[in-house]
Amino acid sequence: MSRVARAIIVAAGRGTRMYPVTCKTPKPLVRVGGVRMIDTIIRGLEENGISEIHIVVGYLKEQFEALTEEYPGVSLIENPYYAECNNISSLYAAREYLEDVMILDGDQVIRCPKVLSPEFERSGYQAVWTDTHTDEWLLTVRGGLVASCSRTGGAGGWQLFSVSRWDKEDGRRLRKHLEAEFEERRNRQIYWDDIALFRYPQEYRLGIFPMEPGDILEVDSLEELAQLDSSYQKYL
């Protein structure tokens, strides 16, 4: 059994699908129902005893500085590549913290903190079973292990959510592959999740952490934001 020792929150992107709301506010700091999305993540982590929290920042990075005063365990890591690269650059910037780690996107609302439990048996992703069609990444699981992943979604599978846990060994492996892709191959326009799921799937034995629909809400666009908080309807 492994235990999460630290968390990395990826929060460097521009959030262009949420313009104009994110023109002056980084996406993770947008409020849903009066609460910043990133606050639900940090509080959920702390509720589970995970207090070492590293936030990778880029776009409007100065706005995150107040979090280090509000939450003693929070530190910021600057991603100098965020404007030119995909989010592989954010995890590359935080690569020294990848052992026994939970990795989360900053544009989520955690509605059920227990899904951020620190104990885990194998590295893998939070996921929700769906019988209906989804356009999100969809995992096929056999014998408790991720067998494949569809980028274009589908039905009758496990919808991947942007919360994952990595034990010490897999974290070291992830760092090695990050450095190979980012430094040597200069493959900088992929998602960091591509590494284990598509680039080197044979080198990982990932599982899933099942949860219920609604435990975590991923907010990808202005339309989704307005569905959760009607005060944003005026921007549609």
Q: Any idea which residue has 């995970």 for tokens?
A: 50
- In this prediction the pTM is 0.97
**End-to-end Cα separation, the chain, in angstroms:** 47
| Residue bearing tokens 């968390």 | 7
Cα(107)–Cα(27) distance, integer angstroms: 6
Which of the 8 DSSP states describes residue 110? E
Total domains in the fold of the chain:
1
The amino acid at 53: I
Q: Which residues contact 222 (CB under 8 A, 6 or more apart)?
A: 17, 18, 19, 21, 232, 235, 236
Task: Supply the range of the domain harboring residue 54.
Answer: 2-235
Instruction: Write down the H helix ranges in 76-188.
Output: 88-93, 168-179
Cα separation, 16 vs 230, whole angstroms: 20
Helices (H) and strands (E) in the chain, counts: 6, 15
Give pLDDT tens digits along the chain (236 positions).
Answer: 999 999 999 999 999 999 999 999 999 999 999 999 999 999 999 999 999 999 999 999 999 999 999 999 999 999 999 999 999 999 999 999 999 999 999 999 999 999 999 999 999 999 999 999 999 999 999 999 999 999 999 999 999 999 999 999 999 999 999 999 999 999 999 999 999 999 999 999 999 999 999 999 999 999 999 999 999 999 99
Q: CA–CA separation, 67 vs 93, rounded Å?
A: 19
User: In this structure, are strands 157-166 and 138-142 parallel, antiparallel, or unpaired?
Assistant: antiparallel
Find the CATH number of the domain harbouring 183: 3.90.550.10
